[in-house]
Amino acid sequence: MPPMTTLARRVVAVASILAFHVPFAAALAAPATATLTGTVYAGDVKTPLAGATVVVTGAAGKILASEPTGADGSFTVDAIPAGSCHVTLQTADGRFPVATPVSLAPGQTRSVHVALKGRSDQDEKNKKKGAAATGEGRGTGAMIAVLIGVVAAGAAAISYGNDHNQQPATSPSTPN
């Protein structure tokens, strides 16, 4: 086989580098944002709450995104940076932060269900004792926003094992 020229060596080197780096570049180009979808309900946890605004804030309190709820109480907030975030409901009566943070992975779509409920007597007692308040309502100090459900994008199914007793397979919710 004749010796390779300098140009041929450079072409082979560049082709080799590209062959190894192009697949990794595609992986690095994966979306770094996530999507939060869901439904907002009134205090009865059955009636969709139209006209509220879902506000998503980061750990430092900076507003990342917001979207109004539709007539059916549904919302979709796109382009949220991955990581932990907080959800706040904003209505004509004020702003009501949800105490439970939501964690989002890059490219993930997570669905949550939130209800605007009346504050309990215990919440009022805690507030008087100086405990952290869960609502910032201007006109309805007796309301709070509560996370009533989180749906993961890839829910795991529990399958039955191969034994004759048909015992469920081990899962985080049903350990053996």
CATH number at residue 87: 2.60.40.10
Q: Is residue 48 part of a domain?
A: yes
pLDDT score at 167: 43
164 against 105, higher pLDDT:
105
Q: Is residue 164 part of a domain?
A: no
pLDDT > 70 in the chain, percent: 57
Helix, coil or strand: residue 10: helix
- Which residue from 66, 80, 69 is spatially nearest to 38, judged by alpha carbons? 69
Yes or no: say if 54 and 69 are a contact pair by the CB < 8 Å rule.
yes
Q: Is residue 43 part of a domain?
A: yes
pLDDT score at 1: 55
Residues 6+ apart with CB under 8 A from 23: none
158 against 140, higher pLDDT:
140
pLDDT score at 24: 53
Distance of CA 154 to the CA centre of its chain: 13
End-to-end CA distance of the chain: 65
- The predicted-structure confidence for 145-168, as pLDDT tens digits, reads as follows 888 877 654 333 333 334 444 444
Separation between Cα atoms, residue 89 and residue 81, nearest integer Å: 19
pLDDT score at 58: 94
pLDDT score at 3: 64
Q: Is residue 147 part of a domain?
A: yes
* Highest mean predicted confidence (pLDDT) among 19-23, 78-82, 145-149: 78-82
Q: Is residue 18 part of a domain?
A: no
Q: Is residue 158 part of a domain?
A: no
What phi and psi, each to the nearest 5 degrees, are found at residue 15? -60, -40
Q: Is residue 41 part of a domain?
A: yes
Please state the domain count of the chain.
Answer: 1
pTM: 0.60
What phi and psi, each to the nearest 5 degrees, are found at residue 131? -70, 160
Range of the domain at 51: 33-151
pLDDT score at 126: 53
Q: Is residue 17 part of a domain?
A: no
Helix, coil or strand: residue 26: helix
The CA-CA-CA angle for residues 30, 36, 41, to 5°, reads 170
pLDDT score at 141: 53
- The predicted-structure confidence for 30-75, as pLDDT tens digits, reads as follows 569 999 999 999 989 999 999 999 999 998 899 999 999 999 999 9
Separation between Cα atoms, residue 67 and residue 64, nearest integer Å: 11
